[in-house]
C-alpha cells in the first residue's frame, strides 16, 4: 500500500483543493453537530437537575404538610373533651367506647396510620385507649392487653412538652411487642400532651405512622424512574429503592448517603439547604450513573435541631434518552451537510480551477505548437491578472522565438549556402549528391555531375579588383541557375568553381546539351560594374555509375574531366571517360575569341 503522502502527491491541485474544502466543511459540520449534541445533552442534564430539585422541594413541602396534618390530628384528639375525661380517670365505659370509635374512624380515614393510642401519665405510662391496624382490620385492645409505655422516648419526652406542642420521634424500625401491623416496620410516632381543665398534663395522645405508606402516598404522582431517598441527620438510609440498604444501623451496620453522593455531606454539616449532584445508583443488577437532588428538611421541635434528608434521583441514561433521537437527527444532518459540502467543494474547486486549467492548456499548447490558446483575459480577479500577464509573456516569447527561428534559419542558410552567390555550398551540395547517389543506387537510375571552372578569373581579380570579381561570380551563378531545370542543383564549391547535379539523367546527350548551352551563354558578355566582360569556363562531366560509386569519386571524376578541358584549350567541356562518348555525335565547341 502506498503511503498517504505519495497518494496525495499523485493528485492534481483540483482534487487536493476539493479534498481540502470538503475536509474543512466536514470538520466544521462535524464540530458544529458535536457541539450542538453536547450542548443539548448538557441542557437536558441541567433541566433534569432543576426538575429533580423542584420535585424534591415539592415532595418535602408535601411531607411537611402531611406531618402537620398528623400533628393537627393528635392535637384534635388531645383537646377532645372525651379524651380529657378518660385520661383523668373517668371510668365511664361509654366514654372510652366513644373515644375508641373516634380512633377507629381516624384509622379508617388515614390508611398510613398504624395505631392510635391514649396513654396516661400514671401507672408508668399505661395505655388507656388503643386501636391498632392488623392484617387489614382494626383491632381495639383493652384490659390486660394494654401495656405500660412510660419508658419510651415518645412518651416521656412528650410529657415534658407544654400542651399544644407536638413531638415527632426518630424514624426507626418498630420493635414494640404487640404492635400488630406496625411490628418491624419503619414507623414514626407523633404525640402531644393531653391536659386537663386545670392545665395539668394527664397523658399523651399518640399516632403511629407507617412511614412507607406515608411516602407511597407522597410519591404517587412522581414518574416511575424517580427514586426516593430518605435519611436521618447522620446520613443513614431510612428509605431506599433497595430495601437491604435501609436501617442498616438497626442491623449493626451503617449505610450512608454521603458514601454514594459525597455532596450531601454539605447538608449534614448545615453548609447548604439543597444540593444537586451525580453519583451511582445501586438499584438493579447493573449500577448506573444518576443525577440526584437532596434537601435538608427540619422535623420535630425546632429547639432540638432534628432533620431528615429527602432526595430524588434519576438515571443519566433516562435523562439522556431524548438526546438519542436528537443525536441521530444531528448526525444525519451532519452526514447530509457533509455530502452537500463535498458536492459544493467539487463545484467550487471546478469553478476556481477552470481558469487555471485554461492557463495550463494554453501553456501546453504554446509549448507544443507555439500558438497561443484561449485565456481568461476578461476576469477581474487574480486569474485575470495572471492570464493577461501570461498573454503578454506569450507574445514576447513568440516574438523572441520568431527572431530566434529567423536567426537560426539565416545561420542554417549561411551554413549550407555560399554567402556571396546564395548558392548551396560544398557541404550542402555533397549532402545532395550523396542522397541522389543513394536513390539512384536503390532504384537503378543514373545521374551526372557538371564541374565548372571560370577561365582566367584570377586576371579579372588582379586587374579589375575583387569587387568586380565578386560581381562576376554572382552573375555567373545567375547564368547557371537560369540554364538548368528547377530540379537540378547548382552550387559553388569555392573560388571560381561551380558544380551542377543532374539527379535524373535519361540520356547522356541531355547533359552534353546543357554543357553546350552553357558554353554558348558564356560567349556572351556579362554586364559587370558598367562594363562588358566576356567570361568563359571549362567544364567536366562525370556520370553515375560509370565514373564513380559515391559522391567523392563523382566530384573527383568531374574535376579531372574539367582539367582535361582546360589542358585542351579551355572554354570547352569534357566527359571523364571521353572515349566512351560516340565519336562525332557530340561536337566540341572551339574556343571563342576573347574581346
Catalytic residue numbers read 496
Cα separation, 567 vs 574, in Å, equals 11
Neighbours of 145 (CB within 10 A): 12
User: Radius of gyration (Cα) for the chain, nearest Å?
Assistant: 66
Which cell numbers hold the place of 238?
A: 431510612
Cα separation, 535 vs 459, in Å, equals 11
End-to-end Cα, the chain, rounded Å? 94
Cα separation, 17 vs 32, in Å, equals 22
Q: Which residue has the cell 540520356?
A: 507
Cα separation, 304 vs 161, in Å, equals 12
Cα separation, 172 vs 425, in Å, equals 133
Q: Between helices 457-464 and 466-482, what is the axis angle to 10°? A: 140
Burial of 388-399, coded b for 16+ CB within 10 Å and e otherwise, reads: eebeeebeeeee
Nearest to 577 by CA among 563, 557, 556: 557
Q: What is the dihedral of CA 249, 253, 257, 260, to 10 degrees?
A: -170
CB-CB contact of 493 with 499 (8 Å): yes
Neighbours of 461 (CB within 10 A): 17
The SS3 call for residue 472 is helix
Cα separation, 85 vs 422, in Å, equals 160
CB-CB contact of 179 with 115 (8 Å): yes
Cα separation, 371 vs 394, in Å, equals 9
| Phi, psi angle pair for 517, to nearest 5° | -65, -40
Cα separation, 195 vs 199, in Å, equals 5
Cα separation, 95 vs 569, in Å, equals 188
Neighbours of 456 (CB within 10 A): 14
Do β-strands 537-544 and 573-575 pair in parallel, antiparallel, or remain unpaired?
Answer: parallel
CB-CB contact of 194 with 78 (8 Å): yes
* HSE-CB for 73 with a 13 A CA cutoff: 25
Q: How is the beta sheet containing 288-298 ordered, strand by strand?
A: 237-239, 227-231, 307-315, 288-298, 274-281
Cα separation, 478 vs 421, in Å, equals 8
Cα separation, 48 vs 282, in Å, equals 19
Amino acid at each position: 500500500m502506498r503511503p498517504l503522502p505519495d497518494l496525495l502527491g499523485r493528485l492534481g491541485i483540483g482534487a487536493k483543493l476539493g479534498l481540502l474544502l470538503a475536509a474543512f466543511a466536514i470538520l466544521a459540520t462535524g464540530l458544529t453537530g458535536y457541539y450542538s449534541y453536547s450542548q443539548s445533552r448538557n441542557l437536558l442534564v441541567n433541566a433534569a437537575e432543576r426538575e429533580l430539585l423542584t420535585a424534591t422541594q415539592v415532595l418535602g413541602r408535601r411531607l411537611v404538610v402531611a406531618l402537620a396534618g398528623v400533628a393537627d390530628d393528635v392535637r384534635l384528639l388531645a383537646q377532645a373533651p372525651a379524651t380529657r375525661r378518660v385520661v383523668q380517670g373517668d371510668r365511664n365505659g361509654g366514654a372510652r367506647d366513644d373515644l375508641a370509635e373516634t380512633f377507629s374512624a381516624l384509622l379508617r380515614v388515614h390508611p398510613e396510620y398504624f395505631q392510635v393510642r391514649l396513654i396516661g401519665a400514671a401507672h408508668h405510662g399505661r395505655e388507656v385507649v388503643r386501636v391498632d391496624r392488623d392484617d387489614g382490620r382494626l383491632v381495639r385492645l383493652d384490659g390486660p392487653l394494654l401495656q405500660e409505655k412510660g419508658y419510651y422516648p415518645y412518651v416521656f419526652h412528650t410529657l415534658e412538652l407544654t400542651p399544644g406542642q407536638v413531638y415527632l420521634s426518630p424514624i426507626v424500625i418498630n420493635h414494640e411487642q404487640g404492635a400488630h401491623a406496625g411490628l418491624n416496620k419503619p414507623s414514626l410516632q407523633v404525640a402531644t400532651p393531653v391536659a386537663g381543665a386545670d392545665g395539668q398534663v394527664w397523658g399523651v395522645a399518640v399516632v403511629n405512622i407507617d412511614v412507607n405508606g406515608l411516602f407511597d402516598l407522597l410519591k404517587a404522582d412522581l414518574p416511575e424512574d424517580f427514586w426516593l431517598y430518605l435519611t436521618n441527620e447522620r446520613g443513614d438510609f431510612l428509605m431506599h429503592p433497595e430495601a437491604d440498604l435501609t436501617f442498616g444501623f438497626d442491623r449493626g451496620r451503617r449505610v450512608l448517603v454521603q458514601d454514594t453522593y459525597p455532596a450531601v455531606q454539605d447538608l449534614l454539616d448545615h453548609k447548604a439547604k439543597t444540593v444537586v449532584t451525580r453519583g451511582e445508583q445501586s438499584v438493579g443488577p447493573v449500577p448506573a450513573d444518576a443525577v440526584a437532588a437532596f434537601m435538608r428538611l427540619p422535623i420535630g421541635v425546632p429547639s432540638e435541631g432534628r432533620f431528615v434528608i429527602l432526595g430524588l434521583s434519576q438515571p443519566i441514561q433516562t435523562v439522556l434518552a431524548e438526546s438519542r433521537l436528537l443525536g441521530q437527527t444531528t448526525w444525519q444532518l451532519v452526514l447530509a451537510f457533509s455530502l452537500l459540502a463535498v458536492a459544493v467543494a467539487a463545484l467550487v474547486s471546478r469553478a476556481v480551477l477552470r481558469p487555471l486549467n485554461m492557463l495550463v492548456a494554453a501553456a501546453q499548447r504554446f509549448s507544443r505548437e507555439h500558438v497561443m490558446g484561449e485565456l481568461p483575459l476578461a476576469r477581474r480577479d487574480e486569474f485575470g491578472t495572471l492570464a493577461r500577464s501570461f498573454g503578454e509573456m506569450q507574445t514576447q516569447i513568440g516574438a523572441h522565438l520568431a527572431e530566434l527561428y529567423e536567426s537560426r534559419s539565416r545561420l542554417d542558410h549561411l551554413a549550407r549556402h555560399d554567402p556571396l552567390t546564395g548558392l548551396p555550398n560544398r557541404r550542402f551540395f555533397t549532402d545532395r549528391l550523396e542522397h541522389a547517389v543513394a536513390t539512384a543506387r536503390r532504384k537503378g537510375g543514373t545521374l551526372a555531375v557538371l564541374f565548372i571552372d571560370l577561365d582566367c578569373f584570377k586576371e579579372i581579380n588582379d586587374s579589375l579588383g575583387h569587387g568586380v570579381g565578386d560581381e562576376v561570380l554572382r552573375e555567373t551563378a545567375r547564368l547557371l541557375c537560369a540554364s538548368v531545370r528547377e530540379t537540378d542543383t547548382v552550387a559553388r564549391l569555392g573560388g571560381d568553381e561551380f558544380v551542377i547535379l543532374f539527379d535524373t539523367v535519361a540520356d547522356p546527350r541531355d547533359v552534353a546539351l546543357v554543357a553546350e548551352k552553357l558554353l554558348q551563354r558564356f560567349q556572351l558578355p556579362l554586364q559587370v560594374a558598367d562594363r562588358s566582360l566576356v567570361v568563359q569556363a571549362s567544364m567536366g562531366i562525370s556520370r553515375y555509375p560509370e565514373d564513380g560509386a559515391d559522391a567523392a569519386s563523382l566530384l573527383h571524376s568531374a574535376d579531372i574531366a574539367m582539367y582535361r578541358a582546360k589542358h585542351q584549350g579551355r572554354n570547352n567541356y569534357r566527359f571523364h571517360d571521353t572515349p566512351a562518348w560516340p565519336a562525332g555525335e557530340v561536337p566540341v565547341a572551339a574556343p571563342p575569341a576573347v574581346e
